[in-house]
């Protein structure tokens, strides 16, 4: 090497050292930034894990709450079905009682009608039989006030003649 080459190489070595120093400084800044980014990434990962855990806990709580609600609704449905069944049974019993009362009422009407017809027929027959003088005299002949005859005299009247004013 010659001196000019040695001087040129010294100058260039100094320049290179400065450039390498700058590059080393920039690399350490980049490494520092990377370390900071790594820490931030680590913190973000911890936050993501925490958010996921919270989400899972909320999901489990929601599932548990929905399960409780489902159980409550099923219980209410059972109670409502039992209540409806009891009401239905009560309605059936009331309908049976109502039918029995109606049947009794119809029987009473039928027997009342039969007794009414028999009484009417008996009255018709009795009226016919008792309206004749023979039966009247036979049945009520001894009752004096029923046989008052205001137009009769002690004397004999001719047939077909009546006392008329």
Is the Cβ–Cβ distance between 151 and 163 less than 8 Å?
A: yes
Is the Cβ–Cβ distance between 151 and 162 less than 8 Å?
A: yes
pLDDT band at 9 (very low <50, low <70, confident <90, very high): low
Q: What is the mean pLDDT of residues 13-31?
A: 85
Res 1: pLDDT = 47
**Mean per-residue pLDDT over the chain, rounded:** 81
Q: What is the mean pLDDT of residues 67-91?
A: 88
Percent over 90 (pLDDT), the chain = 33
Q: Tell me which of 24 and 149 has the higher pLDDT.
A: 24
| Domain spans in the chain, listed from the N-terminal domain onward | 8-106
Q: Tell me which of 19 and 5 has the higher pLDDT.
A: 19
> Coil, strand or helix: which one is 50?
helix
Sign for the CA dihedral angle at 16, 22, 24, 30 comes to: negative
pLDDT at 61 over 70: yes
Sign for the CA dihedral angle at 15, 16, 18, 22 comes to: positive
């Amino acid at each position: 090497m010659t001196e000019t080459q040695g001087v040129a190489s010294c100058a260039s070595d100094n320049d290179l050292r400065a450039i390498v120093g700058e590059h080393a400084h920039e690399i350490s800044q980049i490494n520092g930034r990377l370390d900071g980014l790594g820490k931030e990434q680590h913190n973000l990962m911890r936050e993501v894990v925490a958010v996921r855990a919270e989400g899972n806990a909320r999901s489990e709580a929601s599932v548990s709450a929905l399960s409780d609600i489902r159980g409550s609704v099923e219980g209410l449905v059972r109670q409502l079905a039992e209540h409806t069944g009891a009401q239905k049974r009560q309605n059936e019993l009331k309908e049976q009682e109502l039918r029995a009362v109606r049947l009794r009422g119809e029987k009473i009407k039928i027997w009342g009608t039969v007794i009414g017809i028999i009484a009417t027929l008996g009255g018709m027959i009795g009226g016919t039989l008792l309206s004749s003088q023979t039966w009247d005299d036979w049945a009520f002949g001894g009752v004096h006030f029923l046989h008052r005859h205001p137009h009769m005299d002690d004397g004999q009247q001719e047939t077909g003649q009546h006392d008329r004013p």
